Amino acid sequence: MRHIILACLLLTGCGKKVVLRDANVYQAELDQYHKWATVQAEHLRDFIEEHCTCDSDAEGPQFEDPECEKAADFVLTIEARAEWHKQMSLWNAGLLPADKEPSKTPPTIEPLTCPLPAGLTDGE
């Protein structure tokens, strides 16, 4: 009988696992991830503007190099949504006041065009 009880305890574990994180550490991590994404997007935007060319024969303005197009899509996504994702992460962690709840839906991403539409310039 003792073996059955021991087996049941080992198979069921200790219940739901809960991980508690220090709010300041979590905030610092989110700030760092946000900075990495926005600075990378800023550098990519500079690279695209200096080294990528538009294909005038394409239907609608598109980039000649598909890699430039992928980079441009990344830039537009980060510029449109990085701040929303950061705020939603803070909200989900209970680190924002009730009156600061982000929109349930993320911001719309600008359509991909060549050249890129004007965007963020300060990395924030």
4 belongs to a structural domain: no
78 belongs to a structural domain: yes
7 belongs to a structural domain: no
**C-alpha torsion sign, points 89, 94, 97, 102:** positive
Q: What range does the domain containing 79 cover? A: 20-124
8 belongs to a structural domain: no
25 belongs to a structural domain: yes
Per-residue confidence (pLDDT) for residue 122, from 0 to 100: 40
d(CA 100, CA 113): 33
pTM over 0.85: no
Q: Collect the ranges in the chain with pLDDT lower than 50.
A: 6, 121-124
Per-residue confidence (pLDDT) for residue 123, from 0 to 100: 41
d(CA 122, CA 124): 6
Give, as one character, the DSSP assignment of residue 95: -
d(CA 74, CA 62): 15
Q: Considering its fold, how many domains does the chain have in total? A: 1
Per-residue confidence (pLDDT) for residue 109, from 0 to 100: 94
109 belongs to a structural domain: yes
**C-alpha torsion sign, points 116, 39, 64, 58:** negative
118 belongs to a structural domain: yes
13 belongs to a structural domain: no
Residue 22 tokens, joined: 């220090």
